Amino acid sequence: MSVNVEKRTDPPGESDYATAAWELKERIRSAEGVLRQRRGFFVDAYRRSTAHLLVENDRLVAFASVRRDGYILFLAVHPDHRGRGHAERLVADVAKNHRSVTCHARTTNRQALGFYKHLGFEVIRRIDDYYEDGGDAYYLKLGGESLRERLSGFVGR
């Protein structure tokens, strides 16, 4: 049986999938201890951003919320849907639409750091006490044009 994952978008000011995105983020937070934003902050940031969504049978399986400047606020993939290229596809969509792609990741989040490194993100700087809970972060930036071309291969999936 073929699984069809559909791309959708919540543009700034729209929040059709904000509740589903919050619930996915919270599932990941409780299981993995990452994505620790408060609900008010999350919903406000989501509504101000463009949310790139991957939906299967009307169920959100992955999303990336992105500011106008290409900064990825949130990137999440449902644990049951990891390893299928969804996160790469979302980052490729972001890279296709922005000259610069940046984000923050906790210095302790080895999974996220490995993922971003795999895609060609570079650590620009470390920021101590970046997160509300005192956690440190790396500020990351996607490198080079050739990488942008490589990522574009994920867009067609």
Give the pLDDT mean for 92-104. 94
Give pLDDT, residue 65: 96
Give pLDDT, residue 147: 54
Query: CA torsion 105→108→111→115, rounded to 10°?
Result: 40
Give the pLDDT mean for 124-151. 83
Give pLDDT, residue 1: 34
CA 91-70-97 angle, 5° bins: 65
Residue 146: pLDDT over 50: no
Q: What is the CATH number of domain 3-154?
A: 3.40.630.30
Look up residue 86 and give its amino acid. H
pLDDT band at 151 (very low <50, low <70, confident <90, very high): low
- Sketch the domain layout of the chain as residue ranges: 3-154
Q: Report whether 89 contacts 154 (CB < 8 A).
A: yes
Q: Report whether 77 contacts 64 (CB < 8 A).
A: no
Give the pLDDT mean for 8-25. 93
Residue 144: pLDDT over 90: no
Give pLDDT, residue 2: 44
Q: What percent of the chain has pLDDT over 70?
A: 89
pTM listed for this prediction? 0.87
Give pLDDT, residue 4: 87
Look up residue 154 and give its amino acid. F
